[in-house]
Amino acid sequence: MTDIPLLIGIDIGGTAIKATLTDSTGSLLTAISTPTLDIAGQDNSPVWKASVKRLIEELEKKAPEQITAIGISTPGTVDPTHSQVISNGTKMLGIEGHNWSEYLNRKTFVINDAHAALYAESRIGAAKGYREVVMLTLGTGVGGAILINDQIYQGQVGRGGHLGHMSVSDDSLLDIVRTPGSLEDAIGEGTVKQRSHGKYLTTKDLVEGYEDHEPFASWVWLQSIRALSRGVISLINILSPELILLGGGITRAGASLMTPLKAFMDMYEWRPKDHRTPVAFAKMGNAAGSLGAALFAWDKSKHK
């Protein structure tokens, strides 16, 4: 027996649903996952909703004690009560308006996926000890989250932190929320083929070309990093955070991302009295969403 509360965190992604059994200190006790089986343009939500329920039931059976709180990390904007997604565009059809507490017959708290990632980083990861942090999640798209006075900023209608939809160029192409020249389109995995005129299909391939000093790959990649630097310095000028945190699959590029990013920031960042805002990679990896959701649910449950 233990006095440390046990928690379950679920991270619903486009390709996989990750579930973790953890405790209120953030220790990962058990992790399981299953394919999401989302179908573009179709509402296949009965299938993946049932998968979420099954994963929770499986973790409950593995837990030595009763679960204290359940959190779900999901794409989209979340309602003020953190019970459901209110808007998610054209992806994950069937997720909008779905009340998870009612469906699961368990009190459940819902949080945006990028918000969950920053929540985990701020409690047990790279942002622990900081109170003012901006996080960008670089993956298929670009998400984001903002920590102000140690609280996740949500803004009106839960839209705060959708940093990938800031405009960083005069490109007339519109992204999925009709932002022209968005950061998401400039560096997200989903536009690699478009940005490279069909030569590269993945960021991994593009970065390998850059590391092999291929001129075209280098040009495409550095254009993307330049756009990222514009976004980062704009966020620094607007919010003046203690730390900029970068997460998501694209950060696997490591030094091939960070070195040119810092070079561009040396050119563009406003540095009063030579103050440089640190930029670092996130630490929590694939577990960030589920752990962040669990810890968020625990904190919310204490204040109910």
- In this predicted structure, what is the pLDDT of residue 1? 47
Q: Using the predicted structure, report yes or no on whether residue 2 has a pLDDT greater than 70.
A: no
For residue range 11-41, list pLDDT tens digits in order.
998 889 999 999 999 999 999 999 998 888 8
Q: Which two tokens stand for residue 298?
A: 């625990």
Structural domain boundaries in the chain: 6-118+286-302, 129-282
What is the spatial distance between Cα 19 and Cα 32, in angstroms, rounded to a whole number? Answer: 5
Rounded Cα distance between 22 and 293, Å, is: 11
Q: Where are the alpha helices (DSSP H) in the chain?
A: 45-62, 100-104, 113-124, 183-187, 192-195, 203-211, 215-239, 255-268, 288-302
Domain 6-118+286-302: what homologous superfamily? Answer: ATPase, nucleotide binding domain (3.30.420.40)
Question: CATH for 129-282, among 3.40.50.800, 3.30.420.40, 3.30.70.1520, 3.90.850.10?
Answer: 3.30.420.40
160 residue type, one letter: G
* HSE of 53, CA atoms in CB hemisphere, 13 A: 14
φ and ψ of 250, to 5 deg: -65, -25
Confidence of residue 304 (pLDDT cuts 50, 70, 90): low
pTM of the full predicted structure? 0.92
Buried b (16+ CB within 10 A) or exposed e, 180-214: ebbbbbbbbbebbeebbeeebeebeebbebbeeeb
Q: Which amino acid is at 282?
A: A
Backbone angles phi, psi at 180, to 5 degrees: -80, 135
Position 302 pLDDT exceeds 90: no
| 6-118+286-302 matches 129-282 in fold | yes
Looking at residues 103-131, what average pLDDT do you find?
97
For 56-68, write each residue's pLDDT tens digit: 999 999 999 999 9
